[in-house]
Chains A and B, each alone.
Chain A
């Protein structure tokens, strides 16, 4: 709550949110049908509907953000509105944390409870004896009770390199923010470009790791609970890194267009927060999925 209450900008009617709702509708219908059609070998239009939905979403975001950038740069926003945006972004990141928590929860439950119980721990002696007497309850689960075999991904090598890359990118992102606040535009461009490049390298290496896992290790999404948690956690993280890289790339374009001032750069700040968030998630991943 501010001491001096400034005028709060309440936007007039806008077509973008409704268009966003239509986009999400098309995405949901399209994705649902697309999943059914691809996994069940059916004919249909799911993929096309999904594509139209995604294009609608991009157009909507472009129009909505263009409006907001225009409003912000013509000085219609008070510092109170800036706080609304920052708080909104912070709570959005909290919701993302809880999304990852669901999958980390599944990982912990599988490791600490489900797999040991299948091996007969707690009061489950007979489960092991009757259903799967030869099952070996170890983690990483390289052979499922049903008999699917796989290999565990080590932490040394690519994952370690990727960890270092993301940690460094967090630093370069912060340096870009500092440069922006000190109004050193040249440094800002350098540090931010470096961050985007590091993000792209991370993604490329991640793709390489996936190819290695699929073709040489037999570690696949459907290779039992180890493969499930491995690919869902690293996959959703990779999706978030992709999104973060796109956001930072757009910030870079805006920097080159001369946007942002030392005290008015919410979009940049939000993108930077998001980047630090995906880095923290990676550190958790590296520790719980790869090392332990």
Chain B
């Protein structure tokens, strides 16, 4: 893809057409901004702060599980930690980080002057800190925070929860509103703001994957809103959606929740696929293998995600026909996912590979995400799931796809585009320390969970049988090491935001292609006010 950019860098107050061309300063710049780059930065920092917060809770969990027996926290507080850790990582870290990347990159990648609806963009960001303030403050209230798991299954969240559940419900409502508005913005930007010549099948894959992700978000976040609303009325207003005595069914909660929840897990991985598809070709110095098949595979995964939800519920006593349907539908997903992994490997085949930091994370992603995918395939097999269900094997599976999958892809993306954002190369030494420490510790952390899970250690329990003690000690050591490794990342990011380091060229990476690499580094406050011509 080649493109010519005309008159994209007229920064400064000389341009008389745009009175708002100066860069605003002070706190108001961040509170009132309509600039997609500012909002992207806000999203990314918010996500990182939430990542560290949720990570601190994971440290509490691992400290308690370091030895069998109850040492450090009360079981009820332990439950609050697992619950809020999950909620924060899903809704506060991974999703906002991807939205931040979308904000920064999509307008620059498709040659648009900004997001389609800039004011609504600001609104969707600023809802989030408030929503999480409510969620976190509930931890300090009478009765404590939510303790029913991030999936808030009824009747745990209805009959057996504390009254603070009402605050949880409304916090989820407003963060859902934030996600829906963010997704509408992304979809409209891609649909309506592409530069002339940027046809559908010329769009970078990050843009494609986000388009499909945004569709999933708009389709399922309202269903989550419906689920929490029913929890609220069941708990406080006497309805019995999830109560058999009134003609409802607790299993119905799981159906509604997972109808949201399964597309949700693809919401957290499709943008990662897009990121990896941008990075691999750059450092293999080859065009992406099978571009069109990547697009179709992404769309297939998204469509299949609507008909597999009950594989989370194999042990609830569904009819055998339903178990079989959901088993086969789930296994079908491995076909388009396999296409993707194959294409990434084929892109690297006979490429002129170099191993800069973004590439290291991308390669780790391919290997480790595939491990998580394969354990997912094992979990999809109904009869064996009866053994795996609610064990640490499940915990190992979804942390491989979410930590070494989604989170590693976000780190790869930050390292890949950070020099474009700041204009300076980040501290490569620190970055390599960050990579190797994370890579080793994350496997010490999550790999043994497969073994203790297969041996029958249940998840979400603060105590365990003695035979799991050795493995859990190593898991906790891996956990603390992984947590500490992220402080290296924090130091690197602070350094990068102070604009320290060597200046970089516009292209930054030798093999990088795309519109965002043709504008100056650092990217000017406003880009593509006049759209580029894409040939």
**Given known contacts A10-B34, A13-B34, is B174 in contact with A28 (CB within 8 Å)?**
yes
Task: Name A17's contact: one of B116, B120, B130, B232 (CB within 8 Å).
Answer: B120
Instruction: List A contacts of B134 (CB < 8 A).
Output: 25, 28-29, 32
The answer to whether B259 and A105 touch across the interface, beta carbons within 8 angstroms, is yes
Q: Is the CB of B31 within 8 A of A105?
A: no
- A40 close to B (CB within 8 Å): yes
Contacts A13-B32, A14-B34, A28-B171; A146 near B219 (Cβ below 8 A): no
User: Which of B119, B129, B229 has its CB near the most chain A CB atoms (within 10 A)?
Assistant: B119
Which of B241-249, B286-294, B354-362 lies at the interface with chain A?
A: B241-249
A 1-27 binary contact with B (CB < 8 Å = 1; else 0): 111010110111111111011101101
Contact across chains for A35 and B166 when beta carbons are under 8 A apart: yes
Kindly state whether residue A148 has any CB partner on chain B within 8 Å.
yes
Check if B192 sits within 8 Å of A84, measured CB to CB.
Answer: yes
B166 / chain A contacts, CB cutoff of 8 Å = 31-33, 35-36
CB-CB under 8 A for A228 and B119, given A28-B171, A103-B226, A106-B230: no
Are B192 and A110 neighbours in the complex by a CB distance under 8 Å?
no
Our pick among A12, A15, A118 for the contact of B247 (Cβ within 8 Å) is A118
A13 contacts B24, C-beta separation under 8 Å? yes
Contact B246 A225 (CB under 8 A): yes
Q: Say yes or no: B194 contacts A95, CB within 8 Å.
A: no
Residue contact A64 to B188, C-beta cutoff 8 Å? no
Stretch touching chain B among A86-94, A203-211, A241-249, A279-287: A86-94
* Residue A76 lies at the interface, judged by CB distance under 8 Å to chain B: no
Whether B237 pairs with A221 at a CB distance below 8 angstroms is: yes
Give the residues in chain B near A33, CB-CB below 8 Å. 166-167
Are B249 and A99 neighbours in the complex by a CB distance under 8 Å?
Answer: no
The residue that B252 contacts in the complex, of A31, A32, A114, with Cβ under 8 A, is A114
Inter-chain contact B122/A96, CB cutoff 8 Å: no
Cα distance A2–B129 in the bound complex, in angstroms: 37
A87 to B259, CA, bound (A): 25
Judge if A145 is at the interface, Cβ distance under 8 Å: yes
Measured between alpha carbons, how far is A224 from B236 in the docked complex, in Å? 14
Query: Are B246's CB and A102's CB within 8 A?
Result: no
Q: With A and B bound together, what is the CA distance between A91 and B74 in angstroms?
A: 45
B81 contacts partner chain A, Cβ-Cβ < 8 Å: no
Contact between A113 and B249, CB atoms less than 8 A apart: yes
Cβ contacts A75-119/B at 8 Å (1 or 0 each): 000001001110110011011101101110110011001110110
A99 lies within 8 A of B225 (CB)? yes
A123 to B126, CA, bound (A): 50
Q: Give the docked Cα–Cα distance between A146 and B238 (Å).
A: 13
Chain A residue contacts of B240, Cβ below 8 A: 144, 146, 222, 224-225, 228
Q: Is the CB of A141 within 8 A of B247?
A: yes
A226 contacts B by Cβ under 8 Å: yes
Chain A CB within 8 A of B187 CB: yes
Check B222–A95 contact: CB distance below 8 A. yes
Residues from chain A with a CB closer than 8 A to the CB of B489 are none
Q: Is the interface of A mostly helix, strand, loop or mixed?
A: helix
Q: Is the CB of A1 within 8 A of B34?
A: no
Q: Which of A243-271 contact B (CB under 8 A)?
A: none
Q: Give every chain A residue within 8 A of B232 (Cβ-Cβ).
A: 35
B180 proximity list for chain A (CB < 8 A): 92, 95
CB of A28 within 8 A of CB of B167, answer: yes
Question: Is A5 a contact of B195 with CB atoms below 8 Å?
Answer: yes
State whether A5 and B531 are in contact (beta carbons under 8 Å apart), knowing that A13-B24, A122-B319, A225-B247 are contacts in the complex.
yes
Task: Tell me if A215 is interfacial: C-beta within 8 Å of chain B.
Answer: no
CA of A256 to CA of B470, assembled, Å:
77
Give bound CA distance, A225 to B317, whole Å: 21
Contact with A along B66-107 (1 / 0, CB 8 A): 000000000000000000000000000000000000000000
Q: Is A232 an interface residue (CB 8 A)?
A: yes
CB distance from A88 to the nearest CB of B (A): 5
Cβ contact within 8 Å between A228 and B24: no
Which residues of chain B from 214 to 261 have a CB within 8 Å of any chain A CB?
Answer: 218-223, 225-227, 229-230, 232-233, 236-241, 244-249, 252, 255-256, 259
Additional pairs, 15, CB under 8 Å, beyond known A106-B252, A225-B248:
A11-B119, A18-B126, A21-B123, A25-B133, A84-B193, A91-B184, A95-B184, A99-B223, A122-B319, A131-B244, A144-B246, A221-B239, A222-B238, A224-B247, A232-B233
28 inter-chain pairs at a CB distance below 8 angstroms, sorted by A residue, are A2-B196, A3-B196, A13-B34, A15-B31, A21-B127, A22-B130, A24-B127, A28-B170, A28-B173, A32-B171, A36-B236, A64-B119, A84-B188, A88-B120, A91-B218, A98-B220, A99-B226, A102-B256, A105-B223, A109-B249, A114-B248, A123-B317, A131-B244, A144-B246, A222-B246, A224-B247, A225-B240, A228-B240
